[in-house]
């Protein structure tokens, strides 16, 4: 599966959702996730993210392993998103900021 990582929090550019052939992105207030049981590993979304927030499971950084479980958990409760929309208003400001996990809204 592919996994949305920490950099997406408070940025949420949503370019990724447009290319997914199986519509397996799910959206929360300031982050979105991939449903691990629905993702077919096509890898199309990874290069679409302008801030490189998406990883294949195998390449997910050690300090972001918690996002595996978070993607699985939140994909069960958040609504599906298939169309791109505006990024979060302060996306540029939040780009690459560390320790954003604490800011995740559910």
Contacting positions for ligand F3S (CB under 6 A): 4, 8, 11-16, 32, 48-49, 51, 53-54
Residue 71 touches which of ligand F3S, ligand SF4, none (CB < 5 to 8 A by kind)? none
| 82 is a contact residue toward ligand SF4 (CB under 6 A) | no
Q: Which is nearer to ligand SF4, 32 or 88 (CB)?
A: 32
Residue 41 touches which of ligand F3S, ligand SF4, none (CB < 5 to 8 A by kind)? ligand SF4
Write the CB contacts of 63 (distance below 8 Å, at least 6 apart in sequence). Answer: none
Cα(73)–Cα(71) distance, rounded to whole angstroms?
Answer: 6
Q: How far is the CB of 24 from ligand SF4 (least distance, A)?
A: 5
| 27 phi/psi in degrees, rounded to 5 | -110, 130
The shares of helix, strand and coil residues in the chain, as percent rounded to the nearest 5, are: 30, 10, 55
DSSP state of 18: H
Size of the site for ligand SF4 (CB under 6 A): 13
Cα(34)–Cα(96) distance, rounded to whole angstroms?
Answer: 20
Q: Which is nearer to ligand F3S, 53 or 76 (CB)?
A: 53
Residues that bind ligand SF4 (CB under 6 A): 2, 19-20, 22, 24, 34, 39-45
């Amino acid at each position: 599966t592919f996994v949305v990582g920490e950099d997406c929090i408070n940025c949420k550019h949503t370019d990724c959702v447009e290319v997914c052939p199986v519509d397996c992105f799910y959206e929360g207030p300031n982050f979105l996730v991939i449903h691990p049981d629905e993702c077919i590993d096509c890898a199309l979304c990874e290069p679409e993210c302008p801030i490189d927030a998406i990883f294949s499971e195998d390449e997910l950084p050690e300090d972001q392993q918690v996002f595996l479980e978070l993607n699985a958990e939140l994909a069960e409760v958040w609504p599906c998103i298939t169309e791109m929309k505006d990024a979060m208003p302060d996306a540029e400001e939040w780009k690459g900021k560390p320790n954003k996990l604490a800011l995740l809204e559910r």
